Amino acid sequence: MRPFRFGVNVPTAGSAAEWAEKARKVEALGYAVLLVPDHLAELLAPFPALAAAAAATTRLRVGTAVLNNDFRHPVLTAREAATLDVVSDGRFELGLGAGHMRSEYEQTGLSFDPGAARVERLGEAVVIVKRLLEGDTVMFAGRH
């Protein structure tokens, strides 16, 4: 059984110094992971924010809570995740989701498909991302 852990969702900061201080405080308070949300609002972009948080800390895990699958190609997601895992010394946790905010789809000009279709696309993306992160060469033919 894995030990129960606590994490904190930190969406923004006004400067690099403030962001680094927030990350160090999260670590000092004993949280296991700092998570960054993925929404089209005045929030920090997850990947660069997490790289900076990892650089400012020594043991704190960093992760996405959660990336909207429809906003990213799975190959690029895998590449970004692999890079962040390297620069964080293996402390990255990837969270992927199917998307749920119609307003964000409208902002990007993407169709807000029914939940079942979004979840199906997520399922295909997870297969691709997981296999790429495992080091496999991936050829994939899916519905999406």
27-83: per-residue pLDDT in tens? Answer: 999 999 999 999 999 999 999 999 999 999 999 999 999 999 999 999 999 999 999
Predicted local distance difference test score (pLDDT) of residue 99: 96
- pTM to 2 decimal places: 0.93
Class of domain 7-133: alpha beta
The residue whose two tokens read 């902002």 is 107
Identify whether the C-beta of residue 6 lies closer than 8 Å to the C-beta of residue 20. no
Q: How far is CA 80 from CA 5, 24, 98, 101, in A?
A: 25, 23, 18, 23
Q: How do beta strands 33-36 and 61-64 pair?
A: parallel
The three-state secondary structure class of 138 is coil
Segment holding 97, helix H or strand E:
strand 96-97
**What 8-state DSSP symbol labels residue 40?**
S
d(CA 67, CA 46): 8
pLDDT tens per residue, range 81-109: 999 999 999 999 999 999 999 999 999 99
Predicted local distance difference test score (pLDDT) of residue 84: 98
